[in-house]
Amino acid sequence: MSQKFIKNKEDFVCEKCGFKVVGNGYTNHCPECLWSKHVDENPGDRASACGGLMKPLDVVMEKGQFEIIHQCVQCRYKKNNKTAPNDKIEKFLASMI
């Protein structure tokens, strides 16, 4: 199995909040609610059979870049994902208070 990133430009409707997401090839979560979907074994490969929704648990700073910690609600797999400029991080952080 390759660890190399596969660019996959896809638009999708968020299964959590219904927002229509326009992908850019690196988009892997909804910018409105920050939820994702467990579709990859390695970034962009769409090889995961799980398909569970991935809940945003926290936002952390890694190497000068914000990352979202996601956990699959179905299989409990955890993964960090880089944020995008249009992510509503403040909205997410406010909901944690």
pLDDT tens for 52-91 read 999 999 999 999 999 999 999 999 999 999 999 999 998 8
Residue 71 domain-assigned (yes or no): yes
Place of tokens 């939820």: 35
Note down the domain range covering 52: 12-95
pLDDT, residue 83, reads 94
Q: Tokens for 88?
A: 């509503």
- Residue-wise pLDDT for 14-23, tens only, equals 999 999 999 9
Q: 3 pLDDT band (50/70/90 cuts)?
A: low
Residue 31 domain-assigned (yes or no): yes
Q: What is the DSSP string of 5-65?
A: -------EE-TTT--EE---SS--B-TTT--EE---SSTT----S---EEEEEEEEEETTE
pLDDT, residue 1, reads 43
Q: Is pLDDT at 35 greater than 70 in this prediction?
A: yes
Q: 12 pLDDT band (50/70/90 cuts)?
A: very high
First to last CA, the chain: 40
Q: 5 pLDDT band (50/70/90 cuts)?
A: confident
Residue 6 domain-assigned (yes or no): no
CA atoms within 13 A on the CB side of 16: 18
Residue 3 domain-assigned (yes or no): no
The number of folded domains in the chain is 1
Sheet containing strand 65-72, strands side by side: 36-37, 53-62, 65-72, 78-82
The values of phi and psi at residue 94, to 5°, are -65, -35
